[in-house]
Amino acid sequence: MTSLWAAFQFLTILPPIVRRPFTKKELGQSVGFYPLVGLALGGAILGLDAALRLALPTQVSAVLVLAAWAVLTRGLHLDGFLDTCDGLFGGFTPERRLEILRDSRVGAFGVIGGVLLLLGKYAALTTLQDRAAALLLAPILGRWAMSMAIVAFPYARENGLGRDIKDYTRWPQAVLAGCTALAVTWLFGQAPGLIALVGAGVIVIAAGLWVQRLIPGLTGDIYGAICELVELGVLVFFTIGLWPAH
């Protein structure tokens, strides 16, 4: 249970339930529960979206949903996406890219990437064909993607929080996360959901391999960037008018 609380406290704005620093082992084991955190986030976002659309136009509710999405996650993954854009596009050597990734300031590439990411999510939210499946599965598959990236790819640095999580995450956590994501995806998305899950896996592999061409491995910021890319991909996928609404 402590590892489950660690997942929620690390990935969301949930007030501390365990009022002590989590051990490295607890943080590593919490990776298996990432999709459950995504399910809770997806349920909250879906409920908020349904309530807002009762009184507001779709465009206005989409902005408020995006704002709530960022608040519920403390902007953690969005910040990682901005830093990743700056680091990978702003440096010309692996050492320089890692140095920029560590810098908390946001540069031009981060601003451009963040604007395009939010515009993409906004456009998708205003044109979704299956809102329930999209809003539930995007957070779930985004956090499943992080768990896969943590297990499957090397870490770029010798120390840090991401290093601790990587070192204490094993394949049992990946299996737990994968089984959870698969079950929930089938329950709420059925065949289109499974296609989205496969697409999320493709994004993880493609992003991980591409990053390794630029720096020695992944970082915590890049885990967050992968989450954001998968969320965007899932939302865009459900704008396609081929899927029956649930």
pLDDT in tens, 60-83: 999 999 999 999 999 999 999 999
The answer to whether residue 218 scores a pLDDT higher than 90 is yes
* The pair of three-digit structure tokens given for residue 151, joined into one six-digit string: 């297990």
Summarize the confidence of residues 217-221 as an average pLDDT: 94
pTM more than 0.85: yes
The answer to whether residue 198 scores a pLDDT higher than 90 is yes
Separation between Cα atoms, residue 226 and residue 161, nearest integer Å: 17
Q: Which residues contact 177 (CB under 8 A, 6 or more apart)?
A: 31, 32, 33, 34, 35, 143, 144, 147, 148
Would you state the pLDDT for residue 171?
Answer: 86
Would you state the pLDDT for residue 18?
Answer: 73
- Burial class (CB within 10 angstroms; exposed 0-12, middle 13-18, buried 19+) of 89: middle
Q: Which residues contact 185 (CB under 8 A, 6 or more apart)?
A: 137, 140, 141, 193, 194, 196, 197
The answer to whether residue 22 scores a pLDDT higher than 90 is no
Would you state the pLDDT for residue 237?
Answer: 96
Tell me the per-residue pLDDT of 221-232, one tens digit each, with 9 for 90 and over.
999 999 999 999
The answer to whether residue 246 scores a pLDDT higher than 60 is no
* The pair of three-digit structure tokens given for residue 23, joined into one six-digit string: 């051990």
Q: Are 141 and 230 in contact (CB under 8 A)?
A: yes
Nearest by Cα to 110 from 129, 126, 88? 88
**Domain chopping of the chain, boundaries:** 26-237
Would you state the pLDDT for residue 162?
Answer: 85
Summarize the confidence of residues 99-125 as an average pLDDT: 94
Separation between Cα atoms, residue 185 and residue 194, nearest integer Å: 6
Nearest by Cα to 111 from 81, 91, 88? 81
Separation between Cα atoms, residue 84 and residue 87, nearest integer Å: 5
Q: What percentage of residues in the chain have a pLDDT greater than 90?
A: 82
